[in-house]
């Protein structure tokens, strides 16, 4: 939590203080968005987390022709990081407004971009089943790229392929469910 030098005698008091803060929280959406800001309370950047509000305000994800829907994957760890959890935030935007958000996380595995892409497609299709792939742009934010573009746009063919694959998966689940219902 960014407090590595707390003496043993203060552990219990520190725990109780943190516990009260958690139980006093009444707005979890705001906490999850703002609670993981790049800066800690002291203003230093000891934390490896990303400020999602700043990313959305900057709108650097707008690449090429704008679309109605955006799937943003935001890498929230550094390649040099030795210990997890490693995470990607997945954001779904409609007309530049955040409508859904999830996190893909793993304790030891760093290769999370593909699972984040899949989660983004799933979230989008949960919200908009009959969406046209030409109305969607997927962009990936990788903050640890030295001297390179931080935002990388997914190709149209790749995005179209992922949407089709997810639709087939959903259809397969529906068919299996219907067959199970008929059997019973």
pLDDT in tens, 7-61: 888 888 888 888 887 777 776 666 665 554 433 333 333 345 678 888 888 899 9
Strand-strand pairing, 69-75 and 151-153: unpaired
Q: In terms of residues, how long is the chain?
A: 184
Which of these, 131, 129, 59, lies nearest to 96 by C-alpha position? 59
Residues 79-136 have pLDDT tens digits of: 888 888 899 999 999 999 999 999 999 999 999 999 999 999 999 999 998 899 999 9
* Fold of domain 59-183: Nucleotidyltransferase; domain 5 (3.30.420)
Which of these, 77, 95, 94, 74, lies nearest to 86 by C-alpha position? 77
**DSSP code at position 135:** G
DSSP string, 53-102: HHHHHHTTT--SS--SEEEEEEE-S-TT--SS-EEEEEEEEETTEEEEEE
Query: Any idea what the Cα angle at residue 91 is, between residues 90 and 97, rounded to 5°?
Result: 180
Q: What is the pTM of this model?
A: 0.70
Q: Structural domain boundaries of the chain? A: 59-183
Q: Using an 8 Å Cβ cutoff, are 113 and 20 in contact?
A: no
CA neighbours closer than 13 Å in the CB half-sphere of residue 18: 9
């Amino acid at each position: 939590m960014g407090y590595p030098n707390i003496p043993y005698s203060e552990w219990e008091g520190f725990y109780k203080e943190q516990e009260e803060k958690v139980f006093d929280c009444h707005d979890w959406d705001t906490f999850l968005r703002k609670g993981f800001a790049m800066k800690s309370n002291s203003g230093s950047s000891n934390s490896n987390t990303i400020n999602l509000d700043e990313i959305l305000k900057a709108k650097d994800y707008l690449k090429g022709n704008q679309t109605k829907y955006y799937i943003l994957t935001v890498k929230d760890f550094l390649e040099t990081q030795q210990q997890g959890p490693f995470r990607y935030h997945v954001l779904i935007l409609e007309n530049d407004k955040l409508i859904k958000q999830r996190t893909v996380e793993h304790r030891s595995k760093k290769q999370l971009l593909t699972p984040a892409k899949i989660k983004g497609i799933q979230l989008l299709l949960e919200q908009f089943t009959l969406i046209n792939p030409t109305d969607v742009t997927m962009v990936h934010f990788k903050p640890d790229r030295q001297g390179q573009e931080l935002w990388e746009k997914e190709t149209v063919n790749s995005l179209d392929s992922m949407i089709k694959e997810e639709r087939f998966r959903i259809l397969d689940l529906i068919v299996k469910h219907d067959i199970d219902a008929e059997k019973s």
